[in-house]
Structure 1
Amino acid sequence: MAPVLTTTSHDRDVAGLKYVYPVLSRRAGGLSIGINFNTNNACNWRCIYCQVPGLKIGAAPEMDFQLLEDELRFFLEDVLKGDFYERFQIPGDNRVIKDIAISGNGEPTSLKEFDRAVALIGKIATEAGVLPRSNFVLITNGSLVHQLKVQNGLKILKAYGGEVWFKFDSATESGRRLINNAGQSYRVSLENLMLSARLCPTKLQTCLLDYKKHGLSAKERQAYLDMLKTIKEHISLKGIMLYTIARPSLQQEAGMLEKLPAETLNAFADEIRCLGFDVSVSA
């Protein structure tokens, strides 16, 4: 018997495939078809809230493009014409493909032939009739947007009507080191964000959490608001997604992390809306 899909379980192996996996996504609001390039559990950051088991520093491995094509065609056929929804006991109001999301167990843009993979996914999903009815999303920490292969991939993503969800959890250097263990500076990430927004519609996604019961500090809040003021002078963002942790971290800091209360998220969202941005909240 197939397991029940829930928003609190994002098991990459639930469908028994290497690259393709289904998710009931809080942020997408329904069935999200995930594409996992980082099957080796490797990423160039180590976010302290990450749920990837055995996470290691590194890049995505070589892609088996034929296997990716076979799996995606098979999976879309199963969802659209098979008994997928019944097998996984998905509620009736979620029985629609909300998006195809390039995400997974690490930073997907680290794939050597990233642009080729984006093009292949877009082609298959369009032929199946999933695109452009559903969204096409790249979920990324944005650290490699300065690379030509990534820029080409973003242009292809835009051509298929897609968008980028760009991770930006902190606008301070100390916050980035704490939350993301990111070696890249705030300034470089900001430049990459603005480049991403010029190449493809881009949303900011920000995970806010309580570390050691410190809550959301005034310093972090003000730095983030100041960053948004800077962004508004140069580019237009499609929106901002604020969320907090929903599943247990598998990193060493797990015991120090707690969800931020919904009232804290909503109050911060209201401050951001006052700057003229569209904000969604997942508490």
Structure 2
Amino acid sequence: MSLKTQWIAPLQVNDHRRDIAGLTYVYPVVSRRAGGVSVGINLNPNNACNWRCVYCQVPDLQRGSAPEIALPQLESELDLMLAEIVNGDFMTRAVPDGVRRLNDIAFSGNGEPTTSAQFAECVAIVERALDRFALRGQIKVVLITNGSQLDKAHVQFALEKMASLQGEVWFKVDRAPQDGFEWVNQIRLNRQQITRRLAQAAALCPTWIQTCMFAVDGQLPTEAELQAYLTFLAQQIEAGVKLKGVLLYGIARTSMQAEAPQLSAAPMAWMQCFAERIMSLGLPVKLAA
């Protein structure tokens, strides 16, 4: 097994191709939210997810779960990528000046990572890699998730392990959860389930809410939608849910879903104004428009 990193042009925030290094499960990106290099782990190479967010950049997205993971291959690929970054010249060759730092290893990819029945085993692989490359406590381990599997014991076990590895959960809440169909995520939502799972995540591992805001058919979210979202956050705080803050971002890459022509980026001034409203609740906000 070898990397094709010698062919990689300098990484860009708008290029998150999962096959950029010629590997199945592991890929490098420059993350605008992380402000550095993130080593992505894609547990959904079958492009399957149990949600279908309208802004999703995954081509040929299908409904479903993660396939069986070839765990030895994942471990080998992660070692190869980290060796290039930690011991090789990857940073100077493939990363723009100013963001040449390794920030995290992130479970992200082309679908919901926690739909993998082997998710806890994959976290254990990351733990071993951190130790081999003397990175334990030096970088984060991030899970980007819709939270749908947080009721499962093996996922909860994995989050507890992540917490010991300077882990973070980025829990997707794009709009205030309401019972019924959610257009942005193309799913049937149950507010009580979302609330319970968010609290579970925050109790097990430091948790940020991750929110994508954008215009639909030229119309930004209404004041009623924004207020419902802010009320939801306030209710979590009042209930004692220990949130790290909100990762607020907009559309930087083109959606690959049918709704793409309807979507457009929110103006930066609008995003900043909304970030200030969130901060007024006492929550930190990291804004990446």
TM-score range, shorter chain: over 0.9
In structure 1, what is the equivalent of residue 52 of structure 2? Answer: 46
In structure 1, what is the equivalent of residue 126 of structure 2? Answer: 121
- 1:269 to partner: Cα distance: 1.1
Structure 1 residue 168 corresponds to structure 2 residue 173: yes
Alignment of 1:13-52 (within 5 A): 13-52=19-58
Instruction: Kindly provide the amino acid, as one letter, of the partner of residue 128 in structure 1.
Output: F
Shift in CA distance, 162/77, structure 1 to aligned 2, threshold 3 Å: same
In structure 2, what is the equivalent of residue 154 of structure 1? Answer: 159
- How far apart are the structure 2 equivalents of 1:55 and 1:173? 25
- How far apart are the structure 1 equivalents of 2:276 and 2:131? 37
Instruction: Kindly provide the amino acid, as one letter, of the partner of residue 43 in structure 2.
Output: F
Q: Give the SS at the match of 1:180.
A: coil
- How far apart are the structure 2 equivalents of 1:67 and 1:43? 22
- How far apart are the structure 2 equivalents of 1:110 and 1:65? 15
Q: Give the SS at the match of 1:31.
A: strand
TM-score of the superposed pair, with normalisation by structure 2? 0.94
Q: Give the SS at the match of 1:241.
A: strand
Q: 1:62 aligns with which of 61, 68, 85?
A: 68
Contact 2:212-2:251 within 8 A present in 1 as well: yes
- How far apart are the structure 1 equivalents of 2:191 and 2:171? 14
In structure 2, what is the equivalent of residue 103 of structure 1? Answer: 108
- How far apart are the structure 2 equivalents of 1:183 and 1:65? 32
| Cα deviation code 1:32-72 (max 9, x no counterpart) | 10000001000000000000010000000001110011111
4+ residue stretches of structure 1 with deviation over 6 A? none
- How far apart are the structure 2 equivalents of 1:62 and 1:259? 36
The 10-residue stretch of structure 1 (119-128 or 15-24) with the greater mean CA deviation from structure 2: 119-128
Q: 1:93 aligns with which of 83, 90, 98?
A: 98
What 5-or-longer segments of structure 1 have no aligned partner? none
Please report the RMSD computed on the Cα atoms of aligned residues, expressed in angstroms: 1.3
- Identical-residue share of aligned pairs (%): 43
- How far apart are the structure 1 equivalents of 2:143 and 2:181? 21
| Cα deviation code 1:138-174 (max 9, x no counterpart) | 0001111011111011011111120100000011438
Contact 2:58-2:256 within 8 A present in 1 as well: yes
Alignment of 1:1-283 (within 5 A): 1-88=7-94, 90-173=95-178, 177-233=182-238, 234-283=240-289
| Cα deviation code 1:83-103 (max 9, x no counterpart) | 212432x22322210111111
- 1:131 to partner: Cα distance: 2.5
- How far apart are the structure 2 equivalents of 1:79 and 1:271? 39
- How far apart are the structure 1 equivalents of 2:130 and 2:102? 11
| Cα deviation code 1:164-196 (max 9, x no counterpart) | 000000114389611001223122112100110
Instruction: Kindly provide the amino acid, as one letter, of the partner of residue 5 in structure 1.
Output: L
What 5-or-longer segments of structure 2 have no aligned partner? 1-6
Contact 1:138-1:163 within 8 A present in 2 as well: yes
Instruction: Kindly provide the amino acid, as one letter, of the partner of residue 137 in structure 2.
Output: P
Instruction: Kindly provide the amino acid, as one letter, of the partner of residue 48 in structure 1.
Output: V
What is the total number of aligned residue pairs between the two structures? Answer: 282
Instruction: Kindly provide the amino acid, as one letter, of the partner of residue 109 in structure 1.
Output: T
Contact 1:170-1:176 within 8 A present in 2 as well: no
Q: Give the SS at the match of 1:179.
A: coil
Q: Give the SS at the match of 1:92.
A: coil
